[in-house]
């Protein structure tokens, strides 16, 4: 579910609260069809919910557990990337 950069970015944007599709599109550089596909994956998985008001569809995280999952993933990736940078620094400049 979290293996696609568009889906991750959508989840990051939704951490600030519910957003209509037009706001998600404005914050991202993706085609509407691509965003729609990725939102459908997130909806089917139960990670986000969608509410329609007239012609506007508003998305939000399905619960606080999703935000906690994203925060945990961010911490893990930060540790991994820091470890790789430390290794690169130990190896010295490329020759």
Sign for the CA dihedral angle at 77, 79, 80, 84 comes to positive
Strand order in the sheet with 19-20: 19-20, 56-61, 48-53
Average pLDDT over residues 5-23: 93
pLDDT on residue 66:
80
Domain edges within the chain = 5-91
pLDDT-derived band at 2, boundaries 50, 70, 90: low
Burial zone of 84 (CB within 10 Å; 0-12 exposed, 13-18 middle, 19+ buried):
exposed
Terminus-to-terminus CA distance in the chain, angstroms? 39
| The CATH number, out of the four listed (1.10.645.10, 1.10.540.10, 1.10.10.10, 2.50.20.10), of the domain defined by the range 5-91 | 1.10.10.10
């Amino acid at each position: 579910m979290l293996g696609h950069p568009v889906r991750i970015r959508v989840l990051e944007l939704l951490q600030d609260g519910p957003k209509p599709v037009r706001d998600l599109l404005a914050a991202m550089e993706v085609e509407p069809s691509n965003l729609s596909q990725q939102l459908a994956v997130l909806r089917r998985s139960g990670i986000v919910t969608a509410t329609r008001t007239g012609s506007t569809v508003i998305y939000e995280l399905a619960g606080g557990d999703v935000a906690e999952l994203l925060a945990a993933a961010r911490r893990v990736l930060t540790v991994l990337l820091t470890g790789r940078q430390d290794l690169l620094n130990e190896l010295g400049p490329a020759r």
